[in-house]
Chains A and B, each alone.
Chain A
């Protein structure tokens, strides 16, 4: 009996060890991907901050400024852009952002129409299972996203917006605050909510006109916001996965040490029993 018990424990130790190997490897991969994604996100910041400043200046320079992208429309149809991960095993990463989007969806659904644009395989799978209208799906684009990839998504959104098929756009993504903290966020995209830069008083010559420059900046700005959000979400996914895998590795270590203890006890018990048997046998003979 003791030896079969020992065999069982030995097998369990082996199985936990191989799981630990996988979680450890995933942890290391996530760490290195996180670093790369963070770098990509940081490098793109100066570009979009300057674009945003330029837009604020245009709005501030002209009191009669009017663009279809800042005008509020009646909220009949809202588009929710939801950025999830392409893979699971990342702790609460996917669940958090999807829950937030679902809540907003239920809220809006009561009074108006809602369309969803999911980005990332997990987000696509989530909304496909439910009875919702999906505009376009984007899967497996997060890791190697280029600015042109983001541009094509932004163009698609603007195209639909210009055809009056949607009246408002909101974005759901996960902000990678720090490697240990990720937060799901909601961000209104269109109509743009721009604070005119009050201190700005310069006279600027816009070629051909402030409105024309503004409207041509919009797709690039939107692309930038999407690019930033997708890269940030990817970084958050990696950070969440790293933490989850780190915990899994720790748990595996703990299990292995518990199981080793059990194994040693079982082995000791088996030896003691054997000795008792031998001693018992010897004394019976003598």
Chain B
């Protein structure tokens, strides 16, 4: 398969910058796959899994929300946070899940509820993905 350039950028660092053959990513509208020569495309990404294929093998990462941007020159994913499945700290993710649940139950306003819900989604996403590896 023809390779194309992929960049995954988070506010903390450039998470991935290299060649890939295919990516599969979850958007708010469903999973989509991107191969070389894809049309220009921009989509919103919720917290979800992300697969990148190189040398015929898929590598899985967790993405905590972001934007996917495909253009002729390059494909870019802007993620709030990204981790490879094998690098996820499961204990930390579980603690963060408990904390989010606690906050969800104690939330008094819409705003607090939404923040806790987002935190819970991120934690669950990490837990799911670390078990997918």
Alpha-carbon distance between A39 and B114 when the two chains are bound, in angstroms: 31
The minimal Cβ–Cβ distance linking B49 to chain A, given in whole angstroms, is: 17
Report A-chain residues with C-beta under 8 Å of the C-beta of B65: 220
Report B-chain residues with C-beta under 8 Å of the C-beta of A50: 9, 69, 76, 78
B11 near A48 with CB under 8 A, answer yes
The minimal Cβ–Cβ distance linking B42 to chain A, given in whole angstroms, is: 5
Q: Which residue among B11, B43, B72 has the maximum number of chain A CB atoms within 10 Å of its CB? A: B11
Residue A58 lies at the interface, judged by CB distance under 8 Å to chain B: yes
A217 near B67 with CB under 8 A, answer yes
Report B-chain residues with C-beta under 8 Å of the C-beta of A58: 42
The minimal Cβ–Cβ distance linking B63 to chain A, given in whole angstroms, is: 13
B11 near A227 with CB under 8 A, answer yes
The minimal Cβ–Cβ distance linking B22 to chain A, given in whole angstroms, is: 18
Please give the number of chain A residues whose Cβ is less than 8 angstroms from any Cβ of chain B in the complex: 31
B115 near A54 with CB under 8 A, answer no
B11 near A204 with CB under 8 A, answer no
Chain A residue with the shortest CB-CB distance to B46: A216
Report B-chain residues with C-beta under 8 Å of the C-beta of A282: none
Report A-chain residues with C-beta under 8 Å of the C-beta of B40: 202-205
* From A46, A48, A202, A207, contact of B71 by CB (8 A): A202
A206 near B13 with CB under 8 A, answer no
Residue A155 lies at the interface, judged by CB distance under 8 Å to chain B: yes
The main secondary structure of chain A at its interface with chain B is helix
Report B-chain residues with C-beta under 8 Å of the C-beta of A57: 42
Alpha-carbon distance between A152 and B76 when the two chains are bound, in angstroms: 25
Q: How many residue pairs, one in A and one in B, have C-beta atoms under 8 Å apart? A: 84
A216 near B44 with CB under 8 A, answer yes
The main secondary structure of chain B at its interface with chain A is mixed
Tell me the chain B residues, 66-81 only, with Cβ under 8 Å from chain A: 66-67, 69, 71-72, 76, 78, 80-81
Tell me the chain B residues, 37-94 only, with Cβ under 8 Å from chain A: 39-44, 65-67, 69, 71-72, 76, 78, 80-81
Report A-chain residues with C-beta under 8 Å of the C-beta of B41: 204-207
Residue A286 lies at the interface, judged by CB distance under 8 Å to chain B: no
* From B11, B29, B44, contact of A224 by CB (8 A): B11
Residue B132 lies at the interface, judged by CB distance under 8 Å to chain A: no
The minimal Cβ–Cβ distance linking B111 to chain A, given in whole angstroms, is: 5
Residue B10 lies at the interface, judged by CB distance under 8 Å to chain A: yes
B67 near A213 with CB under 8 A, answer yes
Alpha-carbon distance between A202 and B72 when the two chains are bound, in angstroms: 10
A159 near B111 with CB under 8 A, answer yes
Residue A177 lies at the interface, judged by CB distance under 8 Å to chain B: no
Residue A281 lies at the interface, judged by CB distance under 8 Å to chain B: no
Tell me the chain A residues, 48-88 only, with Cβ under 8 Å from chain B: 48, 50-51, 54, 57-58
List 16 contacting pairs A-B, 8 Å CB cutoff, sorted by A: A43-B11, A43-B12, A44-B12, A46-B14, A50-B69, A51-B67, A148-B80, A151-B80, A203-B40, A206-B42, A206-B43, A207-B27, A207-B28, A208-B29, A216-B44, A220-B67
Interface residues of B (CB under 8 A from A): 9-14, 27-29, 32, 39-44, 65-67, 69, 71-72, 76, 78, 80-81, 110-111, 114-115, 119
Interface residues of A (CB under 8 A from B): 43-44, 46-48, 50-51, 54, 57-58, 147-148, 151-152, 155-156, 159, 202-208, 212-213, 216-217, 220, 224, 227
